[in-house]
Amino acid sequence: MTKITQTQATLAAAQMSRRNVLKSAVAIGAVGFASPLFVKNAFSSSGELNHMGWAGYDGYKIAIEAFTKKTGIKVNLTEQPDNDTIFAQAKLAAQTGAFDTIEPTVDRTVSYVENDLVAPWDEKKLTLDSYLPGMVDGAAGTMAVVKGGRYFVPAVWGTEALVFNKEKMPLEYGKASLADLWGEGLEGKVTVRAHSALASLGRVLDAEGKLPKPFMDSYKDDDVMKANWDVILKEALAKKKNIVQFWKGENEAQAAFRTNGAVIGQCWDSTGFNMGKEGPYGYIAPKEGSIAWNQGYMMMKNAKNTEQAYEWLNFQATPEGGAAMATVYSANPVGKGAVDKLDAKVAAFYTAAFPGDALTKLWWWPTQTSSYLKLRAEYADKFIAG
């Protein structure tokens, strides 16, 4: 029997804490799924899969190699920088048949179904009982299912919070706030993604009683959205001098800190992890709660390699595959047992980023309809151009 060190024991305890949070804070009523009898056909141990995923993650090829070694299936990866580009390319692929699977976030599920781009997964071919509670059921599961069909299956979940320079802009959990991005003395030192920054500013203004309607109602009614976001945009433009660079993808976010002088930003956890390897950068949850996202897979309606797609998903539901994909994004795995296989550095990073009650305050992106996304894009463009 292998002995574990005190450090390993500490990390294991931290990982167990994160598992417990997933079971309680993320899940809204765990639902059990029977393990399916998955029978491979002649194509499931060979062939290829055409997949559209995210750009800026060198480790993706390692996860693909592990999958290919286990199944014999080749994955042809096309990288895109953000959700909007994935959606735009999916609309083209609906005509060309270029992709079998795509990798958006769960809040976009309705918009893909509304545009008739994707097909529901056959749950009998999925190992849904291999996922952590709250990942394919509860609130996340509700967003994944439209009119009785499961259109989305998760791959990883992560957050968008505050990346900061520990020397030039030190932050402390419990005091760090989304409002810090808009503070005095930060002219030309902040980086944000436009639509995320507007949403976060909306949460701040909502808490201060400065919006005409509750902020969350913006996702339910387009007229309410416009009333609220008019106020949000006006406030953002008044403080735009703080923004040194807008980012859309991982590479741009890192460049804001590395070359353009940003000392604080609202960015993905992967940005915080990667910048922390280069210099004195940290990643911390704001007191209002980090934005949380659940990223995963949808199958194009005109997919050609469907059996390979099921193999791809079921590989990632294993501890080995789940850990591999979580390592790609420096994010959290969704499969049972995967967290125990994560790199110790990733586990330590999340322990530092989410101290105390931080994980219980996660703010999950709500479902966003096609009409909402269109309006959101218009406000983001005005913010960037203003």
pLDDT tens digit at each of 386 positions of the chain: 333 333 333 333 333 333 333 333 333 333 333 333 333 443 444 599 999 999 999 889 999 999 999 999 999 999 999 999 999 999 999 999 999 999 999 999 999 999 999 999 999 999 999 998 888 988 888 999 999 999 999 999 999 999 999 999 999 999 999 999 999 999 999 999 999 999 999 999 999 999 999 999 999 999 999 999 999 999 999 999 999 999 999 999 999 999 999 999 999 999 999 999 999 999 999 999 999 999 999 999 999 999 999 999 999 999 999 999 999 998 889 999 998 898 888 878 988 899 889 888 999 999 999 999 999 999 999 999 99
CA 312 – CA 49 distance, rounded (Å): 8
Query: Which of 361, 161, 156, 362 has its CA nearest to residue 253?
Result: 161
Are 60 and 103 in the same domain?
yes
* Structural domain boundaries, residue 65: 6-158+293-364
203 within a domain of the structure (yes/no): yes
Are 238 and 378 in the same domain?
yes
What does the pLDDT read at residue 39? 35
Contact between 306 and 99 (Cβ < 8 Å)? no
1 within a domain of the structure (yes/no): no
The tally of domains found in the chain comes to 2
User: Residue 197 sits in a domain of what CATH number?
Assistant: 3.40.190.10
320 within a domain of the structure (yes/no): yes
What does the pLDDT read at residue 344? 86
The string of pLDDT tens digits covering residues 142-197 is 999 999 999 999 999 999 999 999 999 999 999 999 999 999 999 999 999 999 99
279 within a domain of the structure (yes/no): yes
Are 351 and 376 in the same domain?
no
Are 281 and 324 in the same domain?
no
The string of pLDDT tens digits covering residues 245-257 is 999 999 999 999 9
The stretches of the chain forming alpha helices (DSSP H) are 6-21, 60-71, 83-96, 109-114, 138-144, 194-207, 222-238, 250-258, 269-276, 306-316, 319-329, 344-353, 370-385
Burial of 39 (0-12, 13-18, 19+ CB in 10 A): exposed
Contacts of 68 (CB under 8 A, 6+ apart): 74, 75
Contact between 257 and 281 (Cβ < 8 Å)? yes
CA 206 – CA 229 distance, rounded (Å): 11
Query: Which of 274, 82, 104, 296 has its CA nearest to residue 196?
Result: 82
What does the pLDDT read at residue 139? 80
- Alpha-carbon separation of residue 381 from 193, 233, 384 (angstroms): 11, 10, 5
Are 27 and 174 in the same domain?
no
- For strand 74-80 and strand 281-284, is the pairing parallel, antiparallel, or unpaired? unpaired
CA 97 – CA 90 distance, rounded (Å): 9
Contact between 263 and 186 (Cβ < 8 Å)? yes
Are 112 and 219 in the same domain?
no
173 within a domain of the structure (yes/no): yes
184 within a domain of the structure (yes/no): yes
Q: What one-character-per-residue DSSP string does 182-206 give?
A: G-TT-TT-EEE-HHHHHHHHHHHHH
Are 31 and 152 in the same domain?
yes
Are 79 and 149 in the same domain?
yes
Are 173 and 244 in the same domain?
yes
Are 209 and 300 in the same domain?
no
Q: At residue 75, what are phi and psi to the nearest 5 degrees?
A: -105, 120
Are 232 and 169 in the same domain?
yes
Are 276 and 133 in the same domain?
no
Residue 278: both structure tokens together: 């280069």
Contact between 143 and 152 (Cβ < 8 Å)? yes
